[in-house]
Amino acid sequence: MAPTPRPFRVLGVQQIAIGGLDRAALHAFWVELLGLHPHGTYRSERENVDEEIVLAGEGPLAIEVDLMQPVDASKSPRVHEPALNHVGLWIDDLKAAVEWLDAQGVRFTPGGVRRGAAGYDVCFVHPKGNADKPRGAEGVLLELVQAPAAVVAAFETISAAAAASAG
């Protein structure tokens, strides 16, 4: 039986999260060599993360690159393993997405929908399914991020322009 129509859209990449044992080394590469722009920091003992948030691009569709180091490398979660920790996607209706994906058998990580480091509501899809929820993100930790109005508007503008030029 085919799933019901998807009640949400993926609008684009919101972030990639890169982990390492030395955030200064991450900063040296991503900011000093590549020229990404520092945007903020986030630290959570509970999430075992000390991160610098940098941006690639400008405006509402800039992509966040989270440079993460563990607060304590001997504890979980091990935000530095794997080095490409997770990918975040802008979602136009996070609540509808979570409900629909859950009904499709998608496994989420513990914690449910919550406020993320950048201030948006987020939810994580587990990399692997299990007996109760057999669908995971095929080996990748995936963060679903509620898109703010500015991102939705930018997406709509780009979509309308692309449709006009195609037709």
pLDDT in tens, 10-21: 999 999 999 999
Number of domains into which the chain is organized: 1
Is 3 inside a domain boundary?
A: no
Is 50 inside a domain boundary?
A: yes
Give residue 166's pLDDT. Answer: 87
The encoded tokens of residue 39 equal 């945007």
Backbone angles phi, psi at 47, to 5 degrees: -90, 0
> CB atoms < 10 A from the CB of 33, how many?
9
| pLDDT band (50, 70, 90) for residue 167 | confident
pLDDT in tens, 34-70: 999 999 999 999 999 999 999 999 999 999 999 999 9
CATH number at residue 69: 3.10.180.10
| pLDDT band (50, 70, 90) for residue 2 | low
Give residue 62's pLDDT. Answer: 95
93 pLDDT exceeds 90?
yes
Give residue 4's pLDDT. Answer: 78
Is 4 inside a domain boundary?
A: no
157 pLDDT exceeds 90?
yes
149: containing domain:
10-166
pLDDT in tens, 25-41: 999 999 999 999 999 99
pLDDT in tens, 113-156: 999 988 999 999 999 999 999 999 999 999 999 999 999 999 99
Distance between CA atoms of 129 and 114, rounded to whole angstroms? 21
CA atoms within 13 A on the CB side of 100: 15
Distance between CA atoms of 90 and 62, rounded to whole angstroms? 11
Cβ burial, residue 12 (10 Å; 0-12/13-18/19+): middle
Give residue 43's pLDDT. Answer: 96
Give residue 124's pLDDT. Answer: 97
CA-to-CA dists, residue 129 to 35, 82, 99, 102, angstroms = 38, 18, 17, 12
Is 72 inside a domain boundary?
A: yes
